[in-house]
Chains A and B, each alone.
Chain A
Amino acid sequence: MAEVGGTVEAGTATPVVRSQWKRALSSLRKSRAAVAGFIVLGCVVALAISANWISPHNPNEQVLEQRLTPPAWLAGGSPRHLLGTDHLGRDILSRIIYGSRISLTVGILAVIISGILGVGAGLIAGYYGRRLDAMIMRLVDVQLAFPFILLALAIIGVLGPGLRNVIIVLGIAGWMVYARVIRGQVLSVREQEFVEAARAVGASDFRIIRFHVLPNTLAPVIIVGTFAVATCIITEASLTFFGLGVEATIPTWGSMLSDGRAYMGTAWWLTTFPGLAMMLTVLSLNVIGDWLREFLDPRMRNL
Chain B
Amino acid sequence: MLTYIIGRLLQSIVVILGVLLLVFFIVNLTGDPIRIILPPEASQEDVERLRVQMGLDRPLPEQFIRFIAGAVRGDFGESLRYRGQPALKQVIQRFPATLTLAAVTLAWSLPVALILGTIAAVWHNSIIDNLAMVTALLGQSLPSFWLGLILILIFAEQWNILPSSGYGGPQYVLLPALTLGAFFTARNTRLVRSGMREVLEQDYIRTARAKGLGERIVLVRHALKNMAIPVVTIVGLDIGQLLGGAVVTETVFAWPGIGRLAIDSILNRDFPVLEADVFFIAVAFVGINLVIDILYTWLDPRVRVK
Contacts and interface: CB of A to CB of B under 8 A. Distances in A.
B247 A153 contact: yes
Contacts, number: 121
Contact of A158 (B14, B30, B191, B195): B30
B262 A150 contact: yes
Interface in A213-255: 230, 234, 237-238, 241-244
B135 interface: no
- Which has the most chain B C-beta neighbours within 10 Å: A157, A275, A287? A157
B19 A142 contact: yes
Interface string A114-146: 000000000000000000000000110111011
A151 to B, nearest CB: 8
Chain B, interface residues (CB within 8 Å), range: 35 or more
A290 to B, nearest CB: 8
B143 A279 contact: yes
Contact of B247 (A141, A143, A147, A234): A147
B194 interface: yes
A150 B278 contact: yes
Contacts of B141: 230, 279, 282-283, 286
Contact of A149 (B11, B245, B269): B245
A279 B146 contact: yes
A265 B194 CA distance: 41
Interface string A254-297: 00010001001100100110010011001100110010000000
Interface stretch (B44-52, B98-106, B214-222, B279-287): B279-287
B191 A302 contact: yes
B140 A271 contact: no
B287 to A, nearest CB: 10
Interface stretch (B80-88, B147-155, B296-304): B147-155
B143 A146 contact: no
Interface in B5-22: 11, 14-16, 18-19, 21-22
Q: Sorted from nearest, which 8 A-B pairs have the closest CB atoms?
A: A142-B18, A157-B266, A275-B146, A283-B141, A147-B245, A147-B244, A265-B157, A145-B282
Interface of A: 138-139, 141-143, 145-150, 153-159, 230, 234, 237-238, 241-244, 257, 261, 264-265, 268, 271-272, 275, 278-279, 282-283, 286-287, 290, 301-302
